[in-house]
Structure 1
Amino acid sequence: MIQIDDAGSGSLVGGTAVGILRIETNEYMWDVIPIKYFTSPYFENKRYEDYTLSIIKKYLKYLNVDKNEPIEICQGYIFNKTRDFLAKSNYNVKSTKISDPLQSLIESSFIDYCTQIGIPYDYLRYTKYPFHFHKMLRWVFADKKNRVKLCKTAWNSWKKYSDTQLQIHYDYIVTGNYICLKCGKKINTPSKIKVIEFTTNKKQFIYLHDNCRFSQ
């Protein structure tokens, strides 16, 4: 059986990972839809659907998938054109919610990709929802000038909050387990810190080393 799934289509930061797995042999391959396909005008024109289809076609050919082998494919919007192609090409395809083993594999691959583009691994690992919109927004606003290029800027949610006013002040922490969201390194305590404050659905706070000069 073949499984097809994605990870990151709901993450503000980064492209979207697309993966395919043959369960019986554990043959697993994945690729990333580049960020540009989630910016204007590519996103509005749904060019990400074409890119996704090209990835899946390549892997179907590599795995030599015939028309009788069962294929389970994710129901997400990323795969709209791919699902149509598979059905019209008479593949044995079923649109469904994808679970393990592929779900964990592709999510792990997407986390690896995100750490490569600069998101601290520790910022992602200790949370139930590592790619929650406001969590990613805090990371972007920690170095907005250099990180906007990593965002899905055609999203309405980004357009809603992209010009949010950022207020900066300084504070002092005595205890706690914090990382600087600009450089990704631990903030030692006790320590003076730089705080970026902004409001979306609630007040949000970003903690940085008071003199961090890291550049993305």
Structure 2
Amino acid sequence: MSRLDPPVGGVLFDCYGTLIDILTDERDIATYRYLSRWLVYQGVGVAPENLRDLYTSRVREALDLTGETYPEVRVEDVFSGICTEYALWNIDTVRLGIEAARAFRAASIRRLGIIEKSKKLLDLLSTKKIGVVSNGQRVFSECEMRALGLYNQSGFVIFSSDLGYQKPDARIYAAALGKMELPARDVLFIGDNT
């Protein structure tokens, strides 16, 4: 930045592809085989192929029902519904929806790590107001950020799953600016996309 640039009072970071390097495969049947086996021990019996079809169709249906231009759903709610339908005995479907979402994420991850240059940038900008705006699921994204030591480095984290819509919807940025108590002109956004 030059002396002619306006001062930056705050910085918003994207999460995935900017702070966290991640590769997942939610289509691989191996992901669903692992989850299907894990679910049996939780009291849910559903075949891997059926689980994959149910998950993808129910996420699609839930997205369609939102009426949002850039819709987002809470995957733990999707898993809770599947667990309710395929329960083998009496289960706590709310708790199991959360745990199934996390087990699903663990099964789908092929690579997970921190982007070191971004971590250094976070350290350099520690005197600024810092926030994270992520098209992510709080149910497991917060765990990933905490495990990598990123969650507490920002003043706040906004996950699209909490709002029901995702970037590039302007409301997600407005929510972040509200938390920062800064106008958009004073905030720099750092991300790999919108």
**TM-score, normalised to structure 1's length?**
0.26
Max Rg structure = 1
Structure in which a larger fraction of residues adopt helix: 2
**Which one has more relative contact order, counting CA pairs under 8 Å at least 6 apart?**
2
| Greater per-residue strand proportion | 1
